[in-house]
Amino acid sequence: MLRATQTSRLLKQSPAARRSLAWATGAGFIAGAMLVAQAWWISLIVDAVFLRGQTLAQVTPLLGVLLASLLVRSLAVYVETVLGQRAANELKQTLRQRLTTHLILLGPLPLRNERAGELVNTIAEGVEALDAYVAQFLPAQFLAVLLTIFILIVVLILDPWTTLVLLFAAPMLLLMLALIGGRAKSLT
């Protein structure tokens, strides 16, 4: 796992990758927002049918909006995946070009004690190892923060008391996870 400064330095290598990653994160945010909207629409549909006794014809507009939000969310997830992979590919291409150029500029003399196969393997495998990190982990990391804040804002608007409960429960949950993780680690 790279530190924040290392990730920042890595992403500075390719402005195109940084842009693709930002767009991927934006698409992921839209997908997350659509998930919140879907939960809202489902709650309205359940309320209308089971508590208010409305018929299928009466909730058809709500079902249409739910279907539309499902389609938007699906498209956003697809775009997030494609753009995340594009960011990874752009970064890998830039890094390979820079490493190759650097090795060519060094010339054979400084590398005479190195094994050529190991160098090629390090360049190929080392850069390839960034694929999942850039394409999947980084967008998920950014989204974990953005969507948490978004959900807290939505809940604050809809029910301020629930927001207080969430703000109290979240640190407790993290504490419990840390305790369980520490205990599991000591057992293994």
Residue 19 pLDDT = 95
SS3 76: helix
Is 121 part of a structural domain of the chain? yes
Q: Are 84 and 134 in contact (CB under 8 A)?
A: yes
DSSP characters for 23-68?
Answer: HHHHHHHHHHHHHHHHHHHHHHHHIIIIIT---HHHHHHHHHHHHH
- Work out the average pLDDT over 140-154: 93
Q: Which domain holds residue 109?
A: 4-147
What does pLDDT average to over the chain?
Answer: 89
Backbone φ, ψ for residue 178 (5° rounding) = -65, -40
Is 167 part of a structural domain of the chain? no
- Whose tokens are 């520490």? That residue is 182
Is 137 part of a structural domain of the chain? yes
Is 164 part of a structural domain of the chain? no
Is 153 part of a structural domain of the chain? no
d(CA 178, CA 26): 30
Is 184 part of a structural domain of the chain? no
pLDDT tens readout for residues 56-74: 999 999 999 999 999 999 9
Q: What is the pTM of this model?
A: 0.81
- Structural domain count, the chain: 1
When mean pLDDT is compared over 14-23, 26-35, 97-106, 178-187, the highest value belongs to 26-35
- Whose tokens are 């796992």? That residue is 1
User: Is residue 84 pLDDT above 90, yes or no?
Assistant: yes
Residue 27 CB contacts under 8 Å (≥ 6 apart), including other chains: 76, 77, 79, 80, 83
Is 179 part of a structural domain of the chain? no
Residue 69 pLDDT = 97
User: Is residue 29 pLDDT above 70, yes or no?
Assistant: yes
Is 180 part of a structural domain of the chain? no
d(CA 31, CA 27): 6
The separation between the first and the last C-alpha atoms of the chain, rounded to the nearest angstrom, is: 22
